[in-house]
């Protein structure tokens, strides 16, 4: 049997006006009357989006409002896997088409709200103020014709009396110009509430190191890290990883941390399973580093502050007692000396 041919497409090609291109795609555009979605070329031909991201954007745009568009919901609806769907949604979120934010409802429940915009670049442009609609010249109202009869010219035989002089017309003031509409404030720019996954992340803190890595600290640290697999098999570290983590354990030992305490901190409440034990141990050694133990001088309370007391002095003139930091004359004797010098 011969291969079936699509005669409908062949017949439609013969009805297209003008010459057809020699190569490339040929469009047969049939106007939709129902069940269609308008998709802009900025999305369909976006140079930075993958084909999967464009496809999921079109599918999300075609869904009715209120439809669940999470990773699980899309994976249950379409044949693509969750990893491909998650990567496509991250692309749409990075280019501004998709925005996901956690919102608290009035009943206290926290839900994830997804917002899809078909033209994210249009949100960044200021919106122009809406001008009042103007009628085209053909639609403007035409004044009705006057119903007054045309004046007739009477013969000169019957002259009319001279009309009274009419006063000069008073100049009427120009009508006030209409008040201009207040300018509308420009629309606020589009602000991303959640940073995109491509945003640079802060650098991780370095692994702590002791002031001096002595042979004793190195020996104890190596034994502790090598023996973690006896307490938790998932913490099996390679020899190279043990050498890299030795300074972190030595920093803990230098701060008087007991080896059992370090072992308990590294292996307790660990996730199941621990896929990367080296990264996990390095993270806990860095983040959970205890502070140094306080010394004896740190626990000594500060001395109580006392107000300085001015000592008593004996006046060299009248031998009365008065308070002064240094010996000398009292105030009365100083005043008498000043008066005597002023009188002289």
pLDDT, tens only, 153-174? 444 545 555 555 555 555 555 5
Task: Give residue 285's pLDDT.
Answer: 94
Length of the chain counted residue by residue: 344
Geometric angle at alpha carbon 16, from 13 and 18, rounded to 5°: 125
pLDDT tens, residue by residue, 291-300:
988 877 777 7
Q: Is the pTM of this model over 0.75?
A: no
Cα–Cα distance for residue pair 152/326, rounded to 1 Å: 129
The yes-or-no verdict on residue 147 having pLDDT over 50 is no
**Partners of residue 50 on adjacent β-strands:** none
Backbone conformation region of residue 103, classed left if phi is above 0, alpha if psi is from -120 to 50, else beta:
beta
């Amino acid at each position: 049997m011969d291969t079936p041919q699509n005669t409908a497409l062949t017949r439609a090609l013969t009805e297209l006006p003008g010459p057809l291109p020699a190569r490339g795609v040929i469009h047969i555009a049939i106007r939709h009357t129902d069940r269609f979605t308008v998709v802009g070329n900025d999305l369909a031909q976006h140079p930075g989006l993958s084909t999967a991201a464009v496809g999921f954007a079109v599918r999300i745009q075609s869904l009715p409002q209120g439809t669940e568009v999470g990773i699980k919901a899309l994976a249950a609806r379409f044949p693509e896997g969750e990893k491909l769907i998650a990567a496509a949604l991250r692309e749409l979120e990075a280019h501004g088409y998709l925005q996901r934010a956690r919102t608290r409802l009035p009943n206290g429940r926290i839900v994830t709200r997804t917002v899809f915009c078909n033209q994210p670049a249009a949100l960044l442009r200021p919106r122009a103020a809406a001008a009042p609609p103007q009628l085209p010249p053909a639609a403007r109202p035409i004044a009705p014709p006057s119903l007054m009869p045309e004046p007739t010219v009477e013969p000169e035989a019957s002259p009319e009396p001279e009309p009274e002089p009419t006063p000069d017309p008073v100049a009427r003031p120009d009508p006030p110009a209409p008040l201009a509409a207040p300018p509308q404030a420009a629309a606020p720019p589009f602000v991303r509430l959640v940073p995109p996954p491509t945003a640079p992340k802060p650098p991780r803190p370095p692994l702590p190191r002791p002031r001096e890595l002595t042979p004793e600290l190195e020996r104890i640290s190596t034994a502790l890290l090598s023996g973690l697999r006896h307490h938790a098999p998932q913490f099996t570290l390679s020899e190279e990883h043990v050498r890299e983590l030795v300074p972190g354990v030595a920093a803990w030992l230098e701060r008087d941390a007991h080896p059992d305490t370090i072992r308990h901190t590294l292996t307790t409440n660990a996730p199941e399973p621990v896929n990367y034990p080296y990264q996990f141990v390095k993270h806990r050694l860095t983040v959970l580093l205890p502070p140094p133990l306080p010394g004896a001088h740190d626990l000594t309370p500060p001395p109580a502050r006392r107000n300085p007391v001015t000592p008593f002095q004996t006046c060299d003139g009248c031998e009365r007692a008065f308070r002064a930091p240094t010996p000398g004359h009292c105030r009365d004797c100083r005043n008498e000396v000043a008066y005597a010098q002023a009188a002289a």
